[in-house]
Structure 1
C-alpha cells in the first residue's frame, strides 16, 4: 500500500504539469496546393518565412513554453550536473604528420571547440596551433576543413558561424602561425586541394540575395583556383555547368599533383568523374573518366599514369579498379580489389599500400593490400566497433587510427605499415567501467522477413521483465551506415537503468548498394517498417513495453521518427524528432534540399508524389489521434534542413493531438544542423532531451555509484 501511494503521489505532478500546457496560438491560413488533382492543405505555410516578425514571435512563445515545462521537472538540475560530469574528459583526435610536425586536436573536456595542436616528433611538446575558442565568446564559431599545402608551409581552413553550412576560407603561414590576407566567401560543401605552396582548388556558390542566405536555393556551384596573395575576385574559374546549375562540382589533385580530378553529381547519390592530366601538355581541359550518374565512382589515387577508382558499377558491395585515362571504357578496367561479401566502405593510401575498410554486420574490418591488389594482412581490431583513419602520405611508414564502440571510448592506435603492428597510442580517460555494460547484436526479422541488425547496449544484470526504459535510435538513408560509437550522453541513460537500441535499417550502407536502394525512393517505407519491427521485437522479447519506449533520430532520422510516430502512435511513449525532414512535398524548395530528390523522389513527379504523400510526417498528422509525448528540436541557423519543417510539424501536432501527452518544440539559437555546435549547447540539449524522456517514461533520477578507476588497456 505504501509503494502504491508513493507511485500515485509521483504521478500527480506529471498529470498536473501536462494539464497546464497551453500552446501558443498558430493561425491557420487558407493555403492549398494542387498536385495533379490532389488538393493538399498547408495552413502553416507562413512559418516558412523565418525572417518575419510573426514567425519569430511564434518561435519565441514556443521556446518559452518548452523551457518553462522543462524547468518544472524536479530532477532536471541533477541531470544537467551528471551530463556535465560525464562529458568532462579529454577528447583527442588521431595525430597526422605534415612537414616537420604532427598535428592533432584536443578538447580538455568542456571547451566549446576542440583546439588544434602541433608537436615535433611523436613524443614532442605540444603547442597550440589554432584555438577556435578565441574566435567568439560563446563558442559558436567553429573550425571546418583544414588542408595543408604540399610541403606544409601553409594551411587553408574554413570557419563556420552559428552552425550554418556557409563557411569562410582563410590561409595561415604555418611557421609563423600568422593569418594571411586571403579570405574566401560563400563556401559550402568544399575543401581546399593545394597545388604546391602557391595556391589551391576549391568550390563556391554565387552570393545569395539579401535575406535568402539561410533558406534560398543553393545552385550554380563552381570550381576555382585561388593563387595565394590575390583577392577572391581574381580567382580562375576551372569549371561551371550553366546547363545543369543544380549539379555539384568539386575538384582535387592526386597526391603527386599529376591529375586534377573533377567530381560532379546531381544529388546525394550518383556521380561522374572527369580528369585533367596536368603533366600532359596536349590536354587543355577536363576529359571524361567515368560517365554518370547511375554509379558511385571515387578516385582513390593514381598509380603512375593510371587511376585507382572505387566503384559499385557491376559490384553493389564496391570494388577497386585501375583505369587508364587514355582508354577509360569499362572493358579496359583492371580489377585490383574485387567485390567481397562485405561492403567496401573506403580505401585509404599510405606508405605505398592500400587500406580497404569493410563493414561486416555494421562493424569495421580493415585489410592492407599492395597496389597490385595482393593481400598483405588483415589489421586486427579490438572487437565489434567502428575504426577510421587508415592512411597517410606515401613517404611515411606509420599512421594513427581510432577505434570506438558503444562501451569503448575513442582510442587511438599507432600502426606500423611495414610490420603490421598496432600499438596503443592514447586511451581516453573516462570515469566509467566498460566491463559493467554489455553490447549485443541481434538480427530482427523485418515485416518482409529481411534480417535487420540491432545493437543493444545495457548495464549488466538487465532483467527481461518487459519494463525497461528504452531509447531506440535510427537513421536509415543516404547510403550512410549506423555503426557502433561511444557517446557520453548515451552512457548517462544506461547509468540510469536505460536500454539503448541502435537500429541498422535499410537505406544505409551496412550491406552495400542493394541495401541502400531497398530503403530509398518508392521503397522508403521499408525503412519505417524495419524500425517498427525492431520496436515490436523489443516488446515481444520482454525488453520493454510501449509505455517505456522512446525513439530518437536526427535529420533523415528525424523523418524516420516523424513517420513512425504518425504511422504507429500507440507503439511509442516518447518521440524525439531532431532537425527532421518533415514536409516531404516541399523539402526540395529550400537551400540544398533538391539534392535529396535522388534519395526521396520529388512531389513534382506525379508518381513519386503518391508515395511521398503517403508517408510525409507533416501531411499524415490527423486530428483526434493520441500521439506520443514529443519534443521536436531545431535551430535558427539550420540551412541544411530549414526550421520550417519542424515549425510546421510542431504547430500541426499541437493542433491535432487529442491526448494529454506534451507536444513541444525546442528551437536552439545561434546553431545549425549540428555541425560545429559548441559543447555548452550540446550538453544543454542533452540535458533537455533526457529530462523530457525520463520524465515522460516515468523514470526517477538515480544517483551515480562510485566506480573504481579503469585498468589500463593493453596493446594488441
Structure 2
C-alpha cells in the first residue's frame, strides 16, 4: 500500500511562520516539438531551451533563479545554516592531488579562508612555496586550476586552466625554479602525460566548437615539446598506422617515464577500452605503426608500464577484476600471467613500484592496499584507518609513493609510504580540522531489494542519535559508470547533522561496489534497478522509522539525476522532497550537448528501435506524468555546465512544475557563474550546499530547521 505523504506547501506550516509572500516566476512557454523514433512519437514541449539562443531563455532563467533565492532567503534558519557551513569550510585547509617528482612534493591546496586552489611545492629541505595562484592570472573571466602533472625531473609542471565552471582547459607549462609560466598556451585540450626525458608531453586537442555536440569529435593526440617553436605533432590518426577509432571516440596517447613503450587508447563512454602499443621513440615522430593487443571485448579497464613489463586490469571472467602481466614490447593477453589476491576483492587500480605492484582494492565499505612482489605471496599493507584510499602516486624507481586516504570523518590526508618498511607517514601538507569531528558516527546496514538482492547503505549522523519517523533524512544515490559510493569527508555536511538531520548513502546497482556485474546490473537496459534500489532502501528506512515519507528527501547528482527522476516518477508518494543536482535529466536529447561521449553508459547512440527504447525508458523528463502529486523539488544547475547542459535542469523543472498536481514547490536554482561544480569557489559551494541542506531540513519539518542548541562550528 502506498504511503500517505503529508502536504507541505510553500506556506511552510502557517501555524509556525507567516506564509511566504513570494511572487511566482513566469511560466515557461510551450512550443511542442514531436519526434518520430522508429514509429514512437515523442513530444518535447520545451525543445526551445536547448539552443540557449532563444530571447526568452536568459530572462526566464534569471526570473526562476531570483524566485528561488527569495524562497530560500525567507526560510527561518537558512542564514544560520549558511554561517555554520561557511565556518566549517572556511576554517578547513584541504589538500588535493599530490605528486613526488625530482625530490619535490607537488600538491594543490585550498588554504583556510581562501576561495580557490593553489599549486604548491615542498622542496627537499622542507620549505614550501606557492607555484601558481590562478586568481592572480589575467584572462577571460576568473581562472581556475583544472588539473596538473609534474615532469619526472620536477623541473616543470603541466597545468590546465579554465574559466570558472567551463572546464574548457588551456594547457600551460610552469617552470618550477622561478614559478613562471612559459609563453606557449594550448586552448581546448586535455593533458595526458610527460615523456621520459620530461621535455615533452602528450595531450588531446579538441577541434570542434566548444559547447556543441561536435566539440570532442575528431580529437587529436598531439605532442608538445617544451620551448620548441615547431608546430605540435599529431601522434596517431584514425584509419592510419593500424589505428581503428571512430571520430566520436577519444584517442589519447601516453608515454611512461620508465618504459620504451608508448600506448594508444580508444575510449568512449564504456569503462573498457581498446589498446595499441608502439615504440616510444617512433611514436614521438608521428610515424608509428601501432599494434592492437586489446579490444573492447577483452574488458581491459586500466594499464600501467614498468620497463618491459605491462600490467593490465581486466574484468574478463572476473567481475571484481584481475591483474594481468605481459610483455610491454610484445603484449599477449592469451599468455598473460594472472596475479591473484586473497578473497578476490574488487580491484580499483594499481601502481608499479620498485619493490612490486601496489594494488588498491574495495572490500565491503572500505579500501584495502596490497603489495605483490615477484615470487612472493601478496602482502596486505596496514592502513592508518578504515576508509577510502582515494589514489596512489609514484614512479617505478622511487623509494616512496604517495597514498591519499579519506573517510566519513577524516579529511583527505596524504601519506608517504616507505616501500621497504611498509610504514605510512602523514606528510601534514595541511593542518588538522580546527573543529570537532569526533561527535559523529556512521552505521552500515543492508536493504533487501524487491528482487532479493542485498543493497548496502550507510547512515551518517550525530554520535548516539536515535532517528525516528520525524527525523529529516537526506538519502543520496548515484549508481552509474561503475563508480562506488565510498566514504568521503564533507565538512559542510556537519552543519546538517548538527540540526538533527541524517545523511544516508545507498550503494545502488550501477555503481562499482561489487565489480563489473554490479555496474552492469544498473546500466542501460537494466537502469531501472538503480532507482528501484534507491526506492527499496528508502522503504527500508521508513519501515525502520529512520525518517518517513513526510521527512525523506532524495538527492541525485549528475548521472544520479536519472536515479532521482526515475524514483519520484515511480514512487512520488515516498518522498517529501527531491533534489536534482546538476542532473542528467533528458538522456534522449544527448545530441544537443557537448558531453555526448558518456552516452554508452545509457544505451549507446540512438541508431535503431532497440537503442531508442533503452534510452527512452530511463529518461526522467519524458516520463513525468500529468496530474501526479509530485514531492517538493529543487533543481540545481550552473549556466556554464559542460557535463550536463543547463537545458537538462531547465526543461525538467519546467515540465515538472506544469505537470504536478500537488501544492509543493518546484524550484530552479541557477548559478550563472558556475558549471558542474568543478572549479566552483568555496563560497559558491557553501551557498549551493546550504540550499540543498536547507531544502532537506525544510521538507523534513520546520522544527528541525532551527539553529542547533549547542553546535561547535
TM-score scaled by length of structure 2: 0.92
Match of 1:714 in 2: none
Match of 2:574 in 1: 571
Relative to structure 1, the CA distance from residue 241 to residue 13 in structure 2 (aligned partners, 3 Å threshold; closer, same or farther) is farther
Judge conservation of contact 2:475–2:554 (CA < 8 Å) in 1.
yes
Aligned mate of 1:616, from 606, 611, 619? 619
Per-residue deviation at 1:145? 2.3
Aligned mate of 2:305, from 285, 301, 305? 301
Provide the aligned length of Structure 1 versus Structure 2.
693
Aligned mate of 1:237, from 222, 234, 239? 234
Tell whether 2:199 aligns with 1:198: yes
Aligned mate of 1:225, from 207, 223, 226? 223
Match of 1:271 in 2: 273
Distance 1:53 1:82 in 2: 39
Relative to structure 1, the CA distance from residue 458 to residue 706 in structure 2 (aligned partners, 3 Å threshold; closer, same or farther) is closer
Tell whether 2:59 aligns with 1:57: yes
Distance 1:665 1:543 in 2: 28
Distance 1:286 1:301 in 2: 17
Match of 2:705 in 1: 700
Match of 2:242 in 1: none
Match of 1:4 in 2: none
Relative to structure 1, the CA distance from residue 278 to residue 30 in structure 2 (aligned partners, 3 Å threshold; closer, same or farther) is closer
Relative to structure 1, the CA distance from residue 463 to residue 347 in structure 2 (aligned partners, 3 Å threshold; closer, same or farther) is same
Select between 496-505 and 424-433 the one with higher mean Cα deviation.
Answer: 424-433
Match of 2:640 in 1: 637
Judge conservation of contact 1:92–1:104 (CA < 8 Å) in 2.
yes
- SS, match of residue 395 in structure 2: coil
Distance 1:690 1:420 in 2: 41
Judge conservation of contact 2:141–2:163 (CA < 8 Å) in 1.
no
Distance 2:631 2:552 in 1: 10
Judge conservation of contact 1:170–1:180 (CA < 8 Å) in 2.
yes
Match of 1:291 in 2: 295
Distance 2:294 2:216 in 1: 26
Judge conservation of contact 2:269–2:601 (CA < 8 Å) in 1.
yes
Relative to structure 1, the CA distance from residue 138 to residue 413 in structure 2 (aligned partners, 3 Å threshold; closer, same or farther) is farther
Relative to structure 1, the CA distance from residue 18 to residue 517 in structure 2 (aligned partners, 3 Å threshold; closer, same or farther) is farther
Match of 2:456 in 1: 453
Relative to structure 1, the CA distance from residue 152 to residue 407 in structure 2 (aligned partners, 3 Å threshold; closer, same or farther) is closer
Distance 2:554 2:360 in 1: 30
Distance 1:133 1:186 in 2: 20
Aligned mate of 1:133, from 132, 135, 153? 135
CA offset digits 1:429-463 (Å, max 9, x no partner): 22443432221111111111111110111112322
- SS, match of residue 188 in structure 2: strand
RMSD: 2.6
Per-residue deviation at 1:137? 10
Per-residue deviation at 1:245? 0.4
Aligned mate of 1:436, from 420, 435, 439? 439
CA offset digits 1:535-554 (Å, max 9, x no partner): 00000011110111011121
TM-score scaled by length of structure 1: 0.91
Per-residue deviation at 1:684? 1.2
Distance 1:94 1:522 in 2: 36
Distance 2:590 2:208 in 1: 22
Select between 24-33 and 90-99 the one with higher mean Cα deviation.
Answer: 90-99
CA offset digits 1:493-513 (Å, max 9, x no partner): 111111111111111111111
CA offset digits 1:659-704 (Å, max 9, x no partner): 1111010111121111111111111111222222222322322236
Judge conservation of contact 1:158–1:170 (CA < 8 Å) in 2.
yes
- SS, match of residue 191 in structure 1: strand
- SS, match of residue 249 in structure 1: coil
Select between 473-482 and 46-55 the one with higher mean Cα deviation.
Answer: 46-55
CA offset digits 1:294-339 (Å, max 9, x no partner): 513422113x433222211222211111223565343221223469
Relative to structure 1, the CA distance from residue 335 to residue 432 in structure 2 (aligned partners, 3 Å threshold; closer, same or farther) is same
Distance 1:428 1:469 in 2: 33
Select between 620-629 and 241-250 the one with higher mean Cα deviation.
Answer: 241-250
Judge conservation of contact 1:558–1:577 (CA < 8 Å) in 2.
yes
Relative to structure 1, the CA distance from residue 259 to residue 311 in structure 2 (aligned partners, 3 Å threshold; closer, same or farther) is same
Tell whether 2:644 aligns with 1:646: no
Judge conservation of contact 1:154–1:173 (CA < 8 Å) in 2.
yes
Q: Report 1:210-609 matches (<5 A).
A: 213=211, 216-230=214-228, 234-241=231-238, 244-278=246-280, 284-293=288-297, 295-302=299-306, 304-325=307-328, 327-337=330-340, 340-370=343-373, 372=374, 374-375=376-377, 377-426=379-428, 428-609=431-612
CA offset digits 1:472-491 (Å, max 9, x no partner): 11110101111001101211
Per-residue deviation at 1:412? 3.2
Per-residue deviation at 1:50? 1.4
Distance 1:104 1:280 in 2: 33
Unaligned runs of 5+ in 2: 1-10, 240-244
Per-residue deviation at 1:289? 2.0
Select between 510-519 and 685-694 the one with higher mean Cα deviation.
Answer: 685-694
